C-alpha cells in the first residue's frame, strides 16, 4: 500500500492542498461573528443530549441486554453481532455499545457522549469542506449558521436523547468519508481507502448505507468527468467493494414479518411519492406531513436546478462533489426508506431519526446557494433571491428545531416516570413506555440487577 501523501484530506477534493496553512483556513471567517453564532445550535444539541437524555434502556436497547449477558459470561460470538436487527446489520454499533456498557456498567451517558463525538467529527469535516469550497468561488460565510442549524436540529430529538442512535451519526460520518474520498483528486489512492473505510462504517451501522455504493460510483464518475482524468482502477476498486459489501449484507437476509409490503411503489405510487416528499421536507416541517411534502418537493427541485446549472457550465464540480454526494445519499435514502416503510403511513416519514439523513439535501442546497450569494458573475437580483432562500431555509429549520426542544422536554418527563417504574419493578403499564412487551423489560431487569448495570449500578 502506498503511503498517504502529505496533505491528503479525507473530507473531500478541496481538502487536499498541503500548502494551505491554518491561518488561511480561518481567513474566511476572520472578523465575522458568524462562527460564534453557528456554535449556538451545537451547544443546544449538546445540552439536550446530556440534560434530557434517556437514562434507562429504551426500545431497541432492550434487545441488546441478552448480548450483554453473553458478553459478561464470555459466550458472545461474531454471529451475535452480525445477526440482522430489523432490516439492518449493525455489528459495529453493537460492538461499540457492548464495550461502553462493559466499562461504564451501562451508563447511557457514555453512549450519548460517543454519539456527540461522531456528530461533531462529521460536522468538523463538513466545515473544513465548506471553507475549502469557498476558496474556489466566493460564498456567503453566514450560510454556515444555516448548515449547523440543520445538522444539529433538535427536531431529530431521538438521535440526541437516545444513546442507541449513535449509529445514525456514525453512518453519516461514514457517508462523508465516502463522498469526500471518492471525489478526491489525490493520486496515491488514499481517497479510495478512506471511502472504503467510510462505507464499512455506514453500511454496517444502518441499512441505508447501501445507498452509498451506487452514490459512490456516481461521485467517482462526476469527479473524473470534471477533471477529464479517467482512472479505471478507482472504478474497479469501488465496484469490487460494492459487490463485496452488498453481497455480505443481503446474504441470508430476511424480511421481518412485521414489516409492510415492499411493493408500495407499485401498489400505492401516490402514497409512495408523498412519503418521499415528506421525508425530504421533514428538516423544515416535521410537525405535519403536508407542509413537509411541499418543502420536500421545493428542496429537491431547487437542488436539481442548481446542480444542472453547475454541470452545464462545468463549474467547480470537485469542490462541491462531497456535498453533491451527500444530497444524492439523502434522496436515495428517502426512496429506500419509502420502499420499506410506506405501508406504515406517511407520518412515519417524519420520524425524528430520519431528519439527520434528509438534512443532508438541505445542507448541500445551502452550500450551493451561498455560492450564488457571493459570486460576482451572478446578477444582483439572482444573488438576492439566493440570499432570501437561505434565510427562509434557516428560519424554517430554526423554528422546527425549537419545536423539537419542546418535544425533548416532553419525552424526558415521560421517560423519568418509566425509569422510576423500572427501578421499583411496578406498573407494567409504565414499563411499556420503555418497550412494547413488558415481559422483555422484566426479564431484562433481572439481568441489569444481576450485573449491576444501568439504573442498578
Examine the pLDDT at 33 and tell me if it is beyond 60: yes
For residue 450, give its domain range: 38-456
Residue 103 lies in a domain: yes
Q: Measured between alpha carbons, how far is 62 from 209 in angstroms, rounded to an integer?
A: 24
pLDDT at 277: 97
Examine the pLDDT at 315 and tell me if it is beyond 90: no
Please tell me the total count of domains within the chain.
Answer: 1
Do residues 362 and 368 make contact, with C-beta atoms less than 8 angstroms apart?
no
Q: Measured between alpha carbons, how far is 314 from 448 in angstroms, rounded to an integer?
A: 59
DSSP 266-316: HH-HHHHHHHHHHHHHTTT-TT-HHHHHHHHHHHHHHHHHHHHHHHHTT-S
| pTM to 2 decimal places | 0.90
What 3-state DSSP class applies to 285?
coil
Mean pLDDT for the stretch of residues 197-213: 95
User: Among 112-116, 128-132, 330-334, 386-390, whose mean pLDDT is lowest?
Assistant: 128-132
Average model confidence (pLDDT) for the chain?
Answer: 87
Residue 11 lies in a domain: no
Number of H helices, E strands in the chain: 21, 0
Residue 313 lies in a domain: yes
Q: What is the pLDDT of residues 41-68, one digit of tens each?
A: 999 999 999 999 999 999 999 999 999 9
Partners of residue 85 on adjacent β-strands: 88
Higher pLDDT, 225 or 25: 225
The C-alpha cell 442546497 sits at: 365
pLDDT at 186: 64
Residue 1 lies in a domain: no
Examine the pLDDT at 23 and tell me if it is beyond 80: no
How is residue 422 written as a grid cell?
423500572
Q: What does R_g of the chain's alpha carbons equal in angstroms?
A: 22
pLDDT at 42: 96
DSSP 186-221: -SSSHHHHHHHHHHHHHHTT-GGGGGHHHHHHHHHH
pLDDT at 377: 63
Best mean pLDDT range from 109-118, 191-200, 431-440:
109-118
Amino acid at each position: 500500500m502506498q503511503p498517504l501523501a502529505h496533505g491528503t484530506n479525507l473530507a473531500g477534493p478541496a481538502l487536499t492542498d498541503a500548502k494551505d496553512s491554518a491561518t488561511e483556513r480561518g481567513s474566511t471567517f476572520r472578523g465575522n461573528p458568524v462562527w460564534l453564532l453557528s456554535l449556538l445550535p451545537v451547544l443546544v444539541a449538546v445540552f439536550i443530549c446530556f440534560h434530557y437524555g434517556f437514562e434507562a434502556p429504551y426500545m431497541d436497547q432492550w434487545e441488546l441486554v441478552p448480548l450483554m449477558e453473553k458478553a459478561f459470561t464470555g459466550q458472545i460470538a461474531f454471529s451475535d453481532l452480525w445477526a440482522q436487527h430489523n432490516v439492518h446489520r449493525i455489528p459495529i454499533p453493537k460492538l461499540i455499545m457492548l464495550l461502553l456498557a462493559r466499562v461504564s456498567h451501562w451508563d447511557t451517558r457514555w453512549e450519548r457522549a460517543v454519539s456527540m463525538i461522531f456528530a461533531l467529527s462529521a460536522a468538523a469535516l463538513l466545515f473544513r469542506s465548506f471553507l475549502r469550497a469557498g476558496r474556489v468561488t466566493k460564498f456567503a460565510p453566514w450560510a454556515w449558521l444555516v448548515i449547523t442549524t440543520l445538522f444539529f436540529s433538535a427536531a431529530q430529538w431521538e438521535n440526541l436523547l437516545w444513546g442507541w442512535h449513535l449509529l445514525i451519526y456514525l453512518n453519516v460520518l461514514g457517508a462523508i468519508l465516502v463522498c469526500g474520498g471518492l471525489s478526491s483528486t489525490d493520486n496515491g489512492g488514499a481517497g479510495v481507502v478512506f471511502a472504503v473505510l467510510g462505507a464499512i462504517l455506514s453500511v454496517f451501522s444502518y441499512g441505508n448505507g447501501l445507498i452509498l455504493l451506487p452514490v459512490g460510483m456516481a461521485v467517482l464518475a462526476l469527479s473524473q468527468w470534471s477533471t477529464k482524468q479517467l482512472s479505471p482502477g478507482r472504478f474497479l476498486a469501488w465496484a469490487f467493494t460494492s459487490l463485496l459489501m452488498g453481497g455480505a449484507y443481503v446474504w441470508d437476509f430476511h424480511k421481518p414479518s412485521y414489516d409492510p409490503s415492499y411493493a408500495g411503489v407499485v401498489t400505492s405510487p401516490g402514497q409512495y411519492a408523498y412519503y418521499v416528499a415528506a421525508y425530504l421536507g421533514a428538516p423544515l416541517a416535521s410537525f405535519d406531513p403536508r407542509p413537509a411534502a411541499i418543502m420536500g418537493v421545493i428542496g429537491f427541485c431547487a437542488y436539481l436546478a442548481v446542480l444542472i446549472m453547475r454541470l452545464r457550465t462545468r463549474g467547480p464540480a470537485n469542490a462541491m462533489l462531497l456535498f453533491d454526494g451527500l444530497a444524492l445519499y439523502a434522496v436515495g435514502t428517502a426512496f429506500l426508506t419509502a420502499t420499506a416503510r410506506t405501508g406504515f403511513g406517511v407520518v412515519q416519514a417524519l420520524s425524528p431519526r430520519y431528519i439527520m439523513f434528509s438534512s443532508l439535501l438541505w445542507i448541500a442546497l445551502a452550500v450551493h446557494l451561498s455560492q450564488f450569494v457571493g459570486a460576482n458573475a451572478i446578477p444582483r437580483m439572482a444573488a438576492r433571491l439566493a440570499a432570501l432562500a437561505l434565510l427562509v431555509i434557516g428560519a424554517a429549520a430554526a423554528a422546527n428545531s425549537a419545536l423539537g426542544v419542546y418535544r425533548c422536554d416532553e419525552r424526558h418527563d415521560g421517560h423519568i416516570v418509566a425509569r422510576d417504574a423500572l427501578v421499583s419493578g411496578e406498573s407494567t403499564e409504565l414499563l411499556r413506555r420503555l418497550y412494547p412487551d413488558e415481559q422483555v423489560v422484566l426479564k431484562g431487569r433481572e439481568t441489569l440487577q444481576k450485573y449491576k448495570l444501568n439504573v442498578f449500578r
